[in-house]
């Protein structure tokens, strides 16, 4: 019989995986992996500001992630630096500022390891409710944004010509990413959320024949990684968050076997491939 805390961890992890699946696909297609990393790193600054101003942690992390997204869009419009350079500056700067602020708050005791790598075994029923309700909201929003995001990934100009308003879709996509990272931080941590976004999506790409199939399969593979990682953590006495990512990595490695993705990878009409 499984303990209550383990069942709660399973429910929380599966709920998160179902949400990160489609988001991760869009990140992979649009080649925004570094953007997800930047958003995750900015979460520590949100944690520090939350402690400093004594405000809600989720709201603080979300606000900082939104601020970083808007700042990135503003800097990109000035075209002073390339996108990867801007992301590198924002990623390391927000992480460093967060660590410095935490160091100044000597009266506050903070477990950085828990924030960096998460503690899925400590989730509460309220956390599970937040994950599933927040995830449902994100998925509903993605349903309405799906076609504009897919069209703009293929061609920004074509999406504009079709009246899809790709710039608005991209901004809303960034806001959804900020929300998911704020929710997921407590579960898998700041350093591992990007892996949960990227690895299942990259694995699903080998088996999928359409964007929609890849989004669904990515969620399924993410859920399998959560279940496998948690049970591996239970029996191997290893950290739960990293164990989930290792399980996702094992699935990805298996997908690279010649037989696993034979005939699918080359025919998958995934956006972002320029062959």
CATH code for the domain of 194: 1.10.3470.10
Give the ranges where the chain is alpha helix by DSSP (H).
Answer: 4-29, 33-53, 57-78, 83-104, 112-117, 125-154, 156-161, 166-188, 193-205, 211-236, 240-255
- 261: confidence class by pLDDT, cuts 50, 70, 90: very low
Average pLDDT over residues 221-234: 95
Direct distance between the N- and C-terminal alpha carbons of the chain, in angstroms, rounded to an integer: 51
- 269: confidence class by pLDDT, cuts 50, 70, 90: very low
Tell me if 274 is assigned to some domain.
Answer: no
Higher pLDDT, 75 or 13: 13
Q: What CA–CA distance (Å, rounded) separates 52 from 6? A: 32
Average pLDDT over residues 30-37: 82
Token code pair at residue 122: 């400590």
Report the SS3 class of residue 108.
coil
- 259: confidence class by pLDDT, cuts 50, 70, 90: low
At residue 117, the pLDDT reads: 76
Tell me if 65 is assigned to some domain.
Answer: yes
pLDDT at 258 over 50: yes
Q: Tokens 């790709």 belong to which residue?
A: 166
Q: What CA–CA distance (Å, rounded) separates 148 from 170? A: 9
At residue 101, the pLDDT reads: 86
pLDDT at 207 over 50: yes
Tell me if 194 is assigned to some domain.
Answer: yes
Token code pair at residue 219: 């969620």
Give the dihedral of Cα atoms 39, 42, 46, 48; nearest 10 deg.
Answer: 160
Give the least confident one: 94-98, 111-115, 268-272: 268-272
At residue 56, the pLDDT reads: 87
Closest-CA residue to 72 (of 185, 181, 177, 171): 171
Tell me if 268 is assigned to some domain.
Answer: no
For residue 236, what are the domain limits? 4-255
Q: What CA–CA distance (Å, rounded) separates 48 from 43? A: 9
Tell me if 107 is assigned to some domain.
Answer: yes
Q: What CA–CA distance (Å, rounded) separates 47 from 110? A: 10
Average pLDDT over residues 202-226: 93
Give the dihedral of Cα atoms 226, 109, 56, 53; nearest 10 deg.
Answer: -150
Closest-CA residue to 227 (of 11, 1, 21): 11
Give the least confident one: 24-28, 44-48, 198-202, 229-233: 44-48
Tell me if 198 is assigned to some domain.
Answer: yes
- Name the percent of the chain lying above pLDDT 90: 35
Contact between 8 and 250 (Cβ < 8 Å): no
At residue 78, the pLDDT reads: 78
Tell me if 266 is assigned to some domain.
Answer: no
- Beta-carbon contacts of 24 under 8 Å, excluding residues fewer than 6 positions away, are 196, 197, 198, 200, 201, 218, 222
Average pLDDT over residues 81-94: 84
Query: What mean pLDDT value characterizes the chain?
Result: 85
Tell me if 110 is assigned to some domain.
Answer: yes
Higher pLDDT, 173 or 80: 173
Q: Total domain count for the chain?
A: 1
Give the least confident one: 29-33, 173-177, 239-243, 257-261: 257-261
pLDDT at 219 over 90: yes
């Amino acid at each position: 019989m499984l303990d209550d805390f383990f069942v709660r961890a399973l429910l929380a992890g599966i709920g998160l995986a179902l949400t990160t699946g489609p988001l991760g696909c869009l990140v992979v297609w649009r080649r925004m992996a570094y953007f997800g990393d930047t958003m995750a790193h900015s979460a520590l600054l949100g944690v520090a500001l939350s402690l400093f101003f004594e405000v809600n942690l989720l709201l603080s992390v979300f606000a900082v992630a939104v601020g970083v997204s808007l700042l990135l869009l503003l800097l990109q419009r000035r075209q002073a630096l390339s996108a990867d350079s801007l992301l590198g500056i924002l990623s390391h700067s927000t992480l460093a500022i967060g660590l410095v602020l935490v160091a100044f708050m000597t009266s506050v005791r903070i477990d950085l390891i828990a924030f960096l790598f998460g503690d899925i075994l400590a989730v509460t029923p309220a956390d599970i409710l937040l994950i599933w309700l927040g995830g449902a909201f994100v998925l509903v929003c993605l349903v309405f944004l799906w076609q504009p995001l897919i069209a703009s990934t293929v061609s920004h100009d074509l999406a504009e010509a079709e009246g899809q308003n790709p710039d608005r879709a991209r901004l809303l996509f960034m806001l959804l990413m900020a929300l998911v990272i704020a929710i997921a931080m407590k579960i898998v941590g700041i350093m591992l959320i990007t892996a949960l976004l990227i690895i299942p999506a990259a694995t699903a790409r080998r088996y999928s024949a359409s964007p929609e199939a890849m989004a669904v399969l990515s969620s399924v593979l993410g859920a399998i990684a959560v279940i496998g990682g948690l049970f591996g953590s239970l029996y191997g006495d290893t950290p739960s968050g990293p164990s989930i990512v290792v399980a996702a990595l094992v699935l990805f490695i298996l997908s690279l076997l010649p037989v696993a993705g034979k005939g699918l990878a080359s025919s998958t009409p995934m956006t972002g491939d320029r062959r």
